[in-house]
Chains A and B, each alone.
Chain A
Amino acid sequence: MTTLTWTILAMAAVTFGVRLWGLTLPGTRLRGIGRRFLDHVPVAVFAALVAGGLPGSDAVDGAWRFAAAVVTALVAVRAGGLGPGLLLGLVLYLGARALGWA
């Protein structure tokens, strides 16, 4: 095997190991601040992923991406689920791009 093959295998091992480590830790037995910390992880992760990916390439593009996010959030509140909000936000943003507005 080549060095690159070994490197990919090692990358796979560290990725798998980190994921398995988390799944194996006794999170169910956590109490107090540790438990409350894990309670807040999903909200924190999702917010960080949104903020990291949402900014646009310039002010106009950013404004349309923000508008798409507002639409997605409103539909998610009203309809629930992932699909409807995602679809409408995407249609708004890609529509604006197709029309040359974003």
Chain B
Amino acid sequence: MAGSPASAGFGAGFRAMLPLWIGVVPFAAAYAVSARAAGLDPLHAQLMSLLVFAGGAQFAAVGLIAAGAGPWTLISTTFLLNLRHLLYGMVVARTTELRGARRLLAAHLLTDEAFGVHVAHGRGRPAFLVGAGLSLFVIWNAATLAGLVLARSLPDPQAIGLDIVFPLAFLALLVPLVRGGRTLLVASVAGLGAWGLGAVLEPGAALLLATVVAAGLGAVASAGPREAP
């Protein structure tokens, strides 16, 4: 694939995700352990990682299954938690042309992390997005499988502090994008909003609402003299 214009950036995208693997491995393994504890058989636990491929929604589903929730609760919760991906897709589509099979592949691989590294380092390069997404897909599923095999001997990632990988990674992606008063305002409103709303709403809903309010505020504030977003 290397060298062809259509695939330019695939390797770069794949490699850009590698620093996040250290955080992804314990969480995927923890998902597998939680799934087994909730009563899912290994086949269904792995199937969810392969087909749904959305960490937050998978953890939520496992919790709901453990609580005895029905199919419609699982499906509607998944929809709500992943609604922010609609915004990710719209942002990606503005700068990166995706067609045919590559668009379908990107749609399956578009996660928080893939969106983050693509916006920061891969705008305009569809292969970069696919590479980043596939990198996460491979490690998420491999670590799910490892978690299913080693279920009883794995520590909780939060108990050993590795849950901090994700906020630190998104902070490292955020900082270079804050280039003036308006972006600082947007970041502050989104951060405070997500923190405050997180106490009363599902994490995915809190994130979506905080994002929409903050980006909307930024859009209104940007109606005046131009400032790079």
Chain A interface residues toward B at CB < 8 A: 3-12, 14-16, 18-28, 30, 33-55, 65, 68-69, 72-73, 75-77, 80-83, 85-87, 89-90, 93-94, 97, 102
Contact = CB atoms under 8 A, between A and B. Distances in A.
A26 B92 CA distance: 11
Contacts of B160: 97
Given A10-B71, A22-B87, A85-B172, A49 B186 contact: no
Interface residues of B, number: 94
Most buried by A among B57, B160, B190: B190
A92 to B, nearest CB: 10
Given A40-B182, A43-B174, A46-B174, 13 more contacts: A11-B57, A12-B52, A14-B79, A15-B52, A15-B53, A19-B88, A33-B223, A37-B218, A40-B215, A40-B218, A41-B88, A43-B177, A45-B87
Contacts of A33: 219-220, 223
B160 to A, nearest CB: 8
A57 B38 CA distance: 25
A90 B160 CA distance: 12
B215 A4 contact: no
B207 A22 contact: no
Given A15-B54, A15-B78, A44-B215, A50 B104 contact: no
B74 A7 contact: yes
A20 B103 contact: yes
Contact of B207 (A10, A45, A73): A45
Interface in B1-58: 16, 18-20, 22, 40, 44, 47-48, 51-54, 57
B82 to A, nearest CB: 5
Given A7-B74, A8-B48, A85-B172, A41 B215 contact: yes
B183 A46 contact: no
A11 B161 contact: no
Interface string B157-184: 0001111111111111111111000110
Contact of B175 (A18, A51, A76): A76
Nearest 3 CB-CB pairings of A with B: A22-B89, A40-B218, A48-B194
Most buried by A among B116, B117, B219: B219
A87 B71 contact: no
